[in-house]
Amino acid sequence: MDEVAMPRSPNAQAATEAKVGPVDWLSSSAEREQLKTAVNERPGALLGPVKVVHAFWLAGMSCDGCSVAVTGATAPSVEDLLIGRLPGVPRVVLHHPVLSIESGDAFMRNYELAAEGKLNAPYVIIFEGSIPNERLAEERGGYWCAMGSETVPKPIPTTEWLSRMAPGAAAVIAIGTCATWGGIPAAYGNPTDSMSVMDFLSQQYLSALGLPVINVPGCSPIGDNFTETVSAILLFLNGLGPLPEFDELGRPAWLFSQTVHQRCVRAGFYEEGTFAEQYGDKECLVEIGCWGPVVQCNITSRGAINHVGGCMNTGGVCIGCTMPGFPDRFAPFYQRPPGTIVSSTTARGVGSFIRPLRRMTMRFQNRETRWDQQQHVPSGWGKVREPGPIEKTVHFFYEKVQYLNSEQPGRTKRAETYRDGYEVPGVVEGASTPPERRT
Ligand code: SF4
Ligand code: SF4
């Protein structure tokens, strides 16, 4: 049977069935995948031995913000993964409690096949939200987070699905800070006794491919961080890429090894010791609550969606949402972190010396040579102040150092002749002489 999708109309369904035989349109998507002709026998088959990978989304104590963030990813997008558009990356069949078009028994059948080892295809688990202690809920006859039920209407906790499916998964990916470290549900008080996927599965856990839990933190995470990590893992799974580098906490190292401060659009203000006093100011936000210098996050360079937005880019402070210590160790939010007393005071001291020197150099670099010779800037937009004798003296020595052991380029001589005969005439004060070509 060729690849078939849910028919748009009864006529389309009849036409398809006339070609490929009876199809159970209400079967689960995993079962439909099993009915298809082996992908590598189809024209234009994807590169690599693995053609299809199932992605099982499970949600614990979550706000669904991670799902929302991922649907905004653009590089690559979820759609790229679902249609197998990326060379070498297997096509992804996504089973998601909100986004899947199946529901009820057909939807749950996918999870059962994976848990029973009957999927006949590799799969990854993506867990969003933290893991509550279901025993606490059970003691009172309830549950925290569940999906599907067995013979009686007793819901099956998503943590139970994780326990059943994790041993056979090619990889378990925790998405968002709740799943990676515990996050807000595990904050002070923690009435549900919540914990991270890593804590739940323990240090001994290894996936079927031998990988510990992979962590893509953020509250919410950057969608592109997640889809890029998934693509890198799938390329590895397909034997077409190296195992991506992860740090000691299972974060993609290439995304989380630098602090948000190191790539912040406001870092230059910090370096020169100028700081915002209120929201809306353009300077560094550290004195009104930014934790960026100690937080590993790439949002200032990657943006929130499609390289647009991101905390400091749009005027917000960093509250450390990617970090294991979030939220308790970054509270109270929007107050100056204690460490800034040392660092921003030092930056202020150094900046007060460096800043005037830079401004002076900037004023000279903002001048054309002719304007120096004429001692006048012919701008109709405003009066440009001429440098005073002290500035000229400092700049004179600055240029001496700048061109030490090298020839100073530019129109510094009264006249210059180039090898092709082109002559730059000397500039007479107050006059603008057009260049001439010698014959
Ligand atoms: S706003 Fe935050 S991250 Fe940006 S330079 Fe200031 S302290 Fe660093
Ligand atoms: S800059 Fe800070 S608050 Fe913003 S996403 Fe990164 S870690 Fe979270």
Q: Which residues pair with 195 in a beta bridge?
A: 131
pLDDT band at 313 (very low <50, low <70, confident <90, very high): very high
Same domain, 325 and 206: no
What is the separation of C-alpha 204 from the centre of its chain, rounded to a whole number of angstroms? 28
Whether residue 321 sits in one domain with residue 193? no
Strand order in the sheet with 436-437: 416-417, 422-424, 436-437
235 with 267, same domain: the answer is no
In a domain, 49, yes or no: yes
Residue 372 lies in a domain: no
298 and 252, same domain (yes or no): no
**What does the pLDDT look like over 95-151, one tens digit per residue?**
999 999 888 889 999 999 999 999 989 999 999 999 999 999 999 889 999 999 876
Q: Does residue 158 share a domain with residue 41?
A: yes
The domain boundary, picked from 238, 256, 274, lies at: 256
pLDDT > 70? residue 3? no
Q: Where are the alpha helices (DSSP H) in 51-93?
A: 65-71, 78-82
CB of 261 closer than 6 angstroms to any ligand 1 atom: yes
Tell me which of 209, 225, 256 is where a domain ends.
256
Q: Are 180 and 229 in contact (CB under 8 A)?
A: no
CA of 258 to the centre of ligand 1 (A): 13
Q: Which ligand is nearest to the CA of 289?
A: 1
Closest CA to 294 of 328, 333, 330: 330
Same domain, 198 and 56: yes
| Nearest CA, atom 8, ligand 1 | 261
> What is the pLDDT averaged over residues 287-295?
97
Q: Which residues of 200-234 are buried (b: 16+ CB within 10 A; e: fewer)?
A: bbeeeeebeeebbbbbbbbbbbbbbbbbbbbbbbb
Query: Within 6 Å (CB) of ligand 2, which residues are found?
Result: 218, 260, 295, 297, 299, 311, 318-322
User: Which one of the ligands is nearest to 221 CA?
Assistant: 2
Q: Judge if 271 and 140 occupy the same domain.
A: no
Structural domain that includes position 314: 259-366
The amino acid present at 94, given as its one-letter code, is L
422-424 and 416-417 as β-strands: parallel, antiparallel, unpaired? antiparallel
Distance 199 CA to ligand 2 centre (A): 23
* Average pLDDT score over residue span 289-305: 97
Torsion angle in degrees (nearest 10) through CA of 230, 235, 238, 239? -140
Measured distance CA(427)–CA(439) in Å, rounded: 21
Q: State whether residue 175 is helix, strand or coil.
A: strand
Q: Provide mean pLDDT across the span 297-312.
A: 95
pLDDT confidence of residue 154: 80
| DSSP conformation class of 168 | G
> Quick one: which H or E segment has residue 106?
helix 104-115
Domain's final residue, options 200, 229, 256: 256
Determine contact, residues 91/231, Cβ cutoff 8 Å. no
Q: How far apart are the first and last CA of the chain?
A: 81
Instruction: State yes or no: cis peptide before 90, omega within 30 of 0.
Output: no
Helix (H) or strand (E) holding 235: helix 223-237
Structure confidence at residue 289 as a pLDDT band (50, 70, 90): very high
State the distance from the centre of ligand 1 to the C-alpha of 255, rounded, in angstroms: 18
Task: Give the separation between CA 133 and CA 148, rounded to whole angstroms.
Answer: 18
Any domain includes 388: no
Which ligand is closest to the CA of 343, given by its number? 1
Same domain, 73 and 173: yes
- Stated as kind and residue range, the H or E segment containing 40 is none
Between CA 131 and CA 179 the distance in angstroms is: 7
pLDDT at residue 161 in the model: 97
Q: To 10 degrees, the CA torsion angle through 352, 353, 355, 358?
A: 180
135-144, 156-165, 211-220: which range is least confident on average? 135-144
Does residue 5 lie within any of the structural domains? no
- Please give the biggest Cα pair distance in the chain: 102
Q: What is the CATH number of the domain that holds 168?
A: 3.40.50.700
- Cβ atoms of 250 and 214 within 8 Å: the answer is yes
Reported as a single tens digit per residue, the pLDDT across 374-395 is 899 999 999 999 999 999 999 9
- CATH number, domain containing residue 298: 4.10.480.10
Measured in Å, residue 265 CA sits from the centre of ligand 1 at 8
Tokens encoding 58 = 């499970």
Residues 207 and 305 placed together within one structural domain of the fold:
no
Residue 149 phi, psi (nearest 5): -145, 160
Domain check: are 68 and 201 in the same one?
Answer: yes
168: in domain: yes
For the ranges 19-33, 247-261, 295-309, 335-349, the lowest mean pLDDT is seen at 19-33
Mean pLDDT score of the chain, rounded to an integer?
Answer: 89
Structural domain includes residue 417: no
Cβ proximity of 88 and 47 under 8 Å: yes
Domain count, the chain: 2
30 and 158 share one domain: yes
Query: What per-residue confidence (pLDDT) applies to 37?
Result: 63
Pick the closest to residue 300 from 322, 280, 278 (CA basis).
322
Phi-psi region of 46 (alpha: psi -120 to 50; beta: other; left: phi over 0): beta
Per the domain annotation, does 41 fall within a domain?
yes
Instruction: Report the share of the chain in percent with pLDDT over 90.
Output: 75
Same domain, 226 and 296: no
Place of tokens 């003691």: 139
pLDDT at 424: 65
Q: Which two tokens stand for residue 169?
A: 């998964």
* Structure confidence by residue, pLDDT tens digits, 409-437: 776 555 566 677 777 665 444 444 444 44
Tokens of 306: 């499609």
Between the CA of 323 and the centroid of ligand 2 the distance, in Å, is 9
Q: Answer whether residue 328 shows pLDDT above 50.
A: yes
132 lines ligand 1 (CB under 6 A): no
Residue 322 forms part of a structural domain:
yes
- pTM of the entire predicted model: 0.85
